[in-house]
């Protein structure tokens, strides 16, 4: 890897953010906005777009920081078993297309935009946005950066679940101007599937992560244990949605989110079957991503149906 490289182009800067995964945050924002609209809190599209942009920028910054610290630890360089684009990072540093310094500079630039923009959004809405944003940034930093390195301590799934929980709740808060139980209920279901997605994505990387001292949850549980934990998380996510609707927390139409259950179960079945054959996990990874997106969009559609009736 070279210490010097030409200034990255806009296209390369975009690739550094791992844009394929940013769709998770877009869906989380759509879900949070829909929960507010369904409760009759109105819909300010400009504020919704601003909140979504800030959340996406924060996710991008987290991705860039993750690439930087995985490069510094040697985890990505040692990962020759990764399944692109799902695992192994962007690999732009390892391929010599950008340097660690340029990656760090991009992370700093994103954070420099986020902080004042977040303050402005807080002024336009309410102070809770600032608290949610700071908590989200803390999780994005603590996930991969020393000294906490939560991902290397088996706590990465908890961190990402917390981060995407905050995205859904924050998008609702921007419209509602207060915290409420309904968005928190929907956020928990979505966050559990995001945690499951991170867990299954860590399975192909487990050997290289372990060699680099990155003891993720997949490393700690082993291939079979990780497969069963994945199944437990997806069942918990869908089970909570069903239970919360039974408890009358979200409207019954939010149960459209259960459309993701067959996809999640198919991913779990493939993971259990090929737990020790990481090169055969790409279909399971694709199913897991799709399930997470379908889950969030299904719930959002259900809430949107209620909003349309107002």
- Write out 245-270 in H/E/C secondary structure: HHCCCCCHHHHHHHHHHHHHHHHHHH
pLDDT in tens, 41-92: 889 999 999 999 999 999 999 999 999 988 888 777 777 677 877 777 788 8
Look at residue 73 in the predicted model and tell me its pLDDT.
80
Look at residue 3 in the predicted model and tell me its pLDDT.
54
Crossing angle of the two packed helices 217-246 and 261-273, in degrees rounded to 10: 160
Model confidence at 20, pLDDT cuts 50, 70, 90, reads confident
Specify whether the CB–CB gap between 217 and 226 falls below 8 A: yes
Model confidence at 4, pLDDT cuts 50, 70, 90, reads low
pTM of the predicted structure, to 2 decimals:
0.94
């Amino acid at each position: 890897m070279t210490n010097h490289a030409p200034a990255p182009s806009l296209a390369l800067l975009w690739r550094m953010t791992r844009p394929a995964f940013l769709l998770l945050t877009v869906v989380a924002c759509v879900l949070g906005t829909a929960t507010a609209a369904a409760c009759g809190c109105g819909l300010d599209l400009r504020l919704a777009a601003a909140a979504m942009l800030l959340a996406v920028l924060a996710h991008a910054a987290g991705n860039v920081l993750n690439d930087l610290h995985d490069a510094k630890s040697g985890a990505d360089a040692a990962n020759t078993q990764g399944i692109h684009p799902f695992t192994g990072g962007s690999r732009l540093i390892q391929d010599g297309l950008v340097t660690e310094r340029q990656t760090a500079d991009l992370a700093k630039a994103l954070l420099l935009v986020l902080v004042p923009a977040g303050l402005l959004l807080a002024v336009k809405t309410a102070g809770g946005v600032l608290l949610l944003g700071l908590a989200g940034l803390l999780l994005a930093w603590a996930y991969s950066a020393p000294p906490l390195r939560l991902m290397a301590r088996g706590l990465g799934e908890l961190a990402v679940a917390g981060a995407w929980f905050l995205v859904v709740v924050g998008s609702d808060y921007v419209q509602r101007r207060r915290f409420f139980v309904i968005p928190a209920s929907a956020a928990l279901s979505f966050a559990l599937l995001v945690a499951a997605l991170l867990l299954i994505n860590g399975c192909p990387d487990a050997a290289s992560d372990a060699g680099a001292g990155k003891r993720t949850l997949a490393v700690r549980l082993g291939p079979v244990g990780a497969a069963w934990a994945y199944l437990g998380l997806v069942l918990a996510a869908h089970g909570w949605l069903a239970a919360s609707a039974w408890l009358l927390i979200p409207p019954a139409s939010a149960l459209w989110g259960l459309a993701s259950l067959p996809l999640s179960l198919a991913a779990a079945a493939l993971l259990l079957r090929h737990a020790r054959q990481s090169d055969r996990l790409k279909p399971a990874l694709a199913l897991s991503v799709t399930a997470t997106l379908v889950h969030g969009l299904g719930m959002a559609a259900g809430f949107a149906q209620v909003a349309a009736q107002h």
